[in-house]
Amino acid sequence: MGRTKKTATQNPMENESLPRIEPITVTLEKNYMPYAMSVIVSRAIPEIDGFKPAHRKLLYTMFKMGLLKGSRVKSANIVGQTMQLNPHGDASIYETMVRLTRGNEALLHPFIDSKGSFGKQYSRDMAYAASRYTEAKLDPICNELFSGIDKNAVDFVPNYDNTKEEPVLLPTTYPNILISPNLGIAVGMACSICSFNLAEICDGTIALLKNPNTSIDRLLDIVKAPDFPGGAQIIYDREEMRKIYETGVGSFKMRSKYEYDKKDKCIYIYEIPYSSCIESIIKKSADLIKTGKLREVNDVSDFTDINGLKLCFELKKDADPEIVMQKLFASTELENSFDCNFNILIDGTPRVMGLREVLNEWIRFRVKCVKRELKYDLNKKEEKLHLLLGLAQIMLDIDKAIKIIRHTQLEEDVVPNLAKAFNLSIKQAEYIAEIKLRNINRQYIMNRLEDIEKLKDEIDDINETLKDELKLKSKLIDTLKAVKKSYGQPRKTLLVDKEQIVSPTKDIFFENYNCRLILTKSGYFKKLSVQGSRSGDDQKLKEGDVIIYQEDTDNRGDVLFFTDKAQIYRARVNDFDISKPSQMGDYVPTKLNMDDNEHVVGCKMIYDIIPEHHMIYIFENGKGLRVSMKAYESKTKRKKISGACSDDSPLVGAIYEGDKPKQIFIKTDLNKAILIKSNLIPEKSTRTAAGTQLIQLPKKNGKVDFVTERIEELGEEALKCKKNVIPSAGTALSQITFNFT
């Protein structure tokens, strides 16, 4: 048999018939980037006129329908007409329309005068009626959107099927980009533009027109803060507002407005932050009531009607409305933040800008619009002047003009013959030829010629304005003043200085009452009620266990637990349930999930860290450490602090020293003890210092095994161990009798 000839295996990647695999970067660039740019430029990010394409197409359609005047028409009619410019479907067009209406209350200055149910911006469940039921027309303020649009103020482009034209931008006569709130999410970027008061923005723009170097501080004085259609309150922080004005990025907090009716024992909410909704507020409030965190409230109801938003919180008899509102502000959307991101399309490129930069860009845009309008008017007036100058030529010999027209054989020769006879242009001759026979008289012609000087003056004035930047700016200022006078309104959102706001504390969310805290040497912790602490029942303890800490306090504070591994655990008193004297209590290492073989050696209830107070640590090697509480200050209340003190020797006791020195009893396993004042122990600057020797121990054996501050419960023999100098050898104890139950 002959050998079978081997052929080289062809690499599939080298097979020209297989599709070529492109790198992912090429695919992203060819397929994903066009989509991303389309969303950014044509969908989600507004341009300098303050509109996204969907808004612009809708409003321009309504303008062309003549809805600036006359009565309202059915919304379905408007939606249908808009589809000639916007092919994305009637549902999306109508949703866009809803937000622009007066009825939806989403805008400070609505663009659409509406009739019917259009839902509410502050409610996600209050649905708008179908377009066949509602009616709409343009609001009078839209005159400011389309001013000059018929004078070539902006560019026009063909619609999606090249059957109509639509404007690229609307020539708004005021900075609508900062008057109408705009939210949008594009690909890789987003925008969140809050609304400002129209009168304030007009004044701020006028200030910039007069002085382009107007400072941010000056703008802050004029344009005080954002203003929202829903009112409410802004917790005003000038520095944070300055940051937003400078960079276009930042956030501010808003609070609802409320009234308390003493007669009905009800709190009424009638204005909420722009970014909040009533359904979320009601649901969260109901949850707080169910879980017992809002015990002062019986019920929450929604009384929102045709007159506006109204939420009612029915309070219990002895409830404090201020405490209730603190809880609601801390836990619900009655207090909310608005995040600003002034991302705007400028000449097709998205840019994040501060307030002054946005206004300067709008001024640049508006100056272009005004120049185009003036040039349009200039051309029209020059054309008219040209025709009237031709008519003036006819005045020299009207009879000759009539004779030429009468004796010209062919109609098409009339205009050329007139032009030749009087040295006119074809347009001038055409204009004269079109004059009615009854008007070819000296009176008519003289009346028309009186406009020549007026036209020349107007043309000269327009030319001067086009050349003079100050005159152009003056024209803008006059327009802004007129807009402010016609449409300006008082601020709806009030400003409250942040210093006037009382920040709610966490302890308002649970019931406060007096209690007694007990910690045993074995690590069991009890929280007893007042009744339980006053009862004559003995405290149940583990066999051989003793109480090392006991304090009467309340349910508002924190408990610091100190362990033999130089760590501090922090818990709230409220985290522990009420115990009975007959119960052993919670085993702290398990309750707080401590490390293996870690034991509690002391605890202390505190409200806040007081730097002037101290912690006293007593170690197994007989040393003691006194350190300021300042060493434990932090911006946040940490649940666990490692390295709380030196770990050279196991910690035996931890005692909190307040305003006055404490008496500390220290006993060794060799039955020697000392009783000293805590101020004998030198203060160390660092919490991990080794400490000072307090009681002398034999070199080979002996250790501290018991520490307490409960001097009043020590036996008489232990009280004889008092020392005024350290270190001390200690006093031998023949008999120990402690009454720590």
Lookup: tokens for 46: 């507004």
End of a domain among 118, 138, 171?
171
pLDDT of residue 506: 60
Annotation marks residue 133 as catalytic = yes
pLDDT of residue 489: 96
Question: Mean pLDDT across the chain, nearest whole number?
Answer: 88
pLDDT of residue 566: 86
pLDDT of residue 5: 46
Name, in order, each residue with C-beta under 8 angstroms of 393's C-beta and a sequence gap of 6 or more.
Answer: 422, 423, 424, 428
Q: What are the strands, taking DSSP E only, across 82-144? A: 112-115, 135-138
Closest CA to 80 of 67, 66, 63, 62: 62
d(CA 273, CA 277): 8
Whether residue 590 lies inside any domain: the answer is yes
d(CA 426, CA 390): 10
Q: In what order do the strands lie in the sheet with 514-520?
A: 547-554, 514-520, 524-529, 586-587
Say if residues 179 and 50 touch (Cβ distance below 8 Å): yes
End of a domain among 171, 192, 212?
171
Q: Is the pLDDT of residue 347 over 60?
A: yes
pLDDT tens-digit series, residues 64-84? 999 999 899 999 999 999 999
Q: Is the pLDDT of residue 618 over 70?
A: yes
Whether residue 740 lies inside any domain: the answer is no
pLDDT tens-digit series, residues 121-168? 999 989 999 999 999 999 999 999 999 999 999 999 999 999 999 999
End of a domain among 429, 454, 487?
487
Whether residue 216 lies inside any domain: the answer is no
Name, in order, each residue with C-beta under 8 angstroms of 675's C-beta and a sequence gap of 6 or more.
Answer: 663, 664, 665, 666, 711, 714, 718, 719, 721, 722, 723
Whether residue 349 lies inside any domain: the answer is no
pLDDT of residue 381: 94
704 and 565 in a common domain: yes
pLDDT tens-digit series, residues 42-58? 778 999 999 999 999 99
**pLDDT tier for residue 4 given thresholds of 50, 70 and 90:** very low
* CATH at 145: 3.90.199.10
Least confident span in 113-122, 159-168, 671-680: 671-680
What's the mean pLDDT in 364-368? 96
pLDDT of residue 6: 46
Lookup: tokens for 44: 């989600």
pLDDT of residue 118: 95
Lookup: tokens for 600: 């509690």
Alpha carbon separation from 495 to 8, 228, 270, 678 (Å, rounded): 82, 12, 17, 52
516 and 483 in a common domain: no
Q: Is 0.85 surpassed by the pTM of this model?
A: no
pLDDT tens-digit series, residues 443-473? 777 888 888 889 999 999 999 999 999 999 9
**pLDDT tier for residue 1 given thresholds of 50, 70 and 90:** very low
364 and 323 in a common domain: no
pLDDT of residue 164: 94
Neighbours of 105 (CB within 10 A): 19
Strand 494-497 with 233-236, pairing: parallel
275 and 321 in a common domain: yes
577 and 708 in a common domain: yes
Say if residues 321 and 141 touch (Cβ distance below 8 Å): no
365 and 279 in a common domain: no
**pLDDT tier for residue 709 given thresholds of 50, 70 and 90:** confident
* CATH at 668: 2.120.10.90
pLDDT tens-digit series, residues 479-491? 999 999 999 999 9
Whether residue 22 lies inside any domain: the answer is no
388 and 327 in a common domain: no
Q: Is the pLDDT of residue 15 over 70?
A: no
Share of the chain above pLDDT 90, in %: 49
Q: Is the pLDDT of residue 637 over 80?
A: no
* CATH at 292: 3.30.1360.40
Q: Which has the higher per-residue pLDDT, 571 or 200?
A: 200
**pLDDT tier for residue 261 given thresholds of 50, 70 and 90:** very high
Say if residues 234 and 496 touch (Cβ distance below 8 Å): yes
**pLDDT tier for residue 8 given thresholds of 50, 70 and 90:** very low
What's the mean pLDDT in 553-573? 87
634 and 541 in a common domain: yes
692 and 617 in a common domain: yes
513 and 482 in a common domain: no
pLDDT of residue 19: 67
pLDDT tens-digit series, residues 33-42? 887 877 877 7
Say if residues 321 and 269 touch (Cβ distance below 8 Å): no
Least confident span in 141-155, 249-263, 335-349, 703-717: 703-717
* CATH at 367: 1.10.268.10
Q: Is the pLDDT of residue 643 over 50?
A: yes
Whether residue 241 lies inside any domain: the answer is no
Query: Residue 92 belongs to what domain range?
Result: 51-171
Spacing of C-alpha 615 from chain mean position = 42
- DSSP H or E stretch at residue 389: helix 355-395
Least confident span in 275-284, 351-360, 545-554: 545-554
Name, in order, each residue with C-beta under 8 angstroms of 661's C-beta and a sequence gap of 6 or more.
Answer: 677, 678, 679
81 and 126 in a common domain: yes
Lookup: tokens for 253: 């907090």
pLDDT tens-digit series, residues 371-395? 999 999 999 999 999 998 888 888 7
Top-ranked range on mean pLDDT: pick from 360-364, 577-581, 589-593, 710-714: 360-364
Say if residues 705 and 652 touch (Cβ distance below 8 Å): yes
Say if residues 698 and 670 touch (Cβ distance below 8 Å): yes
Name, in order, each residue with C-beta under 8 angstroms of 27's C-beta and a sequence gap of 6 or more.
Answer: none
DSSP string, 149-205: GGGT-S-EEE-TTSSSEEESS---SS-GGGTS-EEEE-SS-EEEE--B-HHHHHHHH
Closest CA to 673 of 731, 734, 735: 731
pLDDT of residue 712: 75
653 and 606 in a common domain: yes
Within 13 Å and on the Cβ side, how many CA atoms surround 672?
16
- Coil, strand or helix at 129: coil
**pLDDT tier for residue 735 given thresholds of 50, 70 and 90:** low
Q: What is the 3-state secondary structure (H, E, C) of 321-360?
A: HHHHHHHHHHHCCCEEEEEEECEEEECCEEEECCHHHHHH
pLDDT tens-digit series, residues 81-106? 999 999 988 999 999 999 999 999 99
What's the mean pLDDT in 207-215? 94
Q: Is the pLDDT of residue 7 over 60?
A: no
Whether residue 285 lies inside any domain: the answer is yes
The catalytically annotated residue of 32, 35, 133, 513 is 133
Say if residues 567 and 640 touch (Cβ distance below 8 Å): yes
Query: How many domains are there within the chain?
Result: 4
Say if residues 553 and 513 touch (Cβ distance below 8 Å): no
What's the mean pLDDT in 368-372? 96
Whether residue 205 lies inside any domain: the answer is no
d(CA 202, CA 199): 5
pLDDT of residue 159: 94
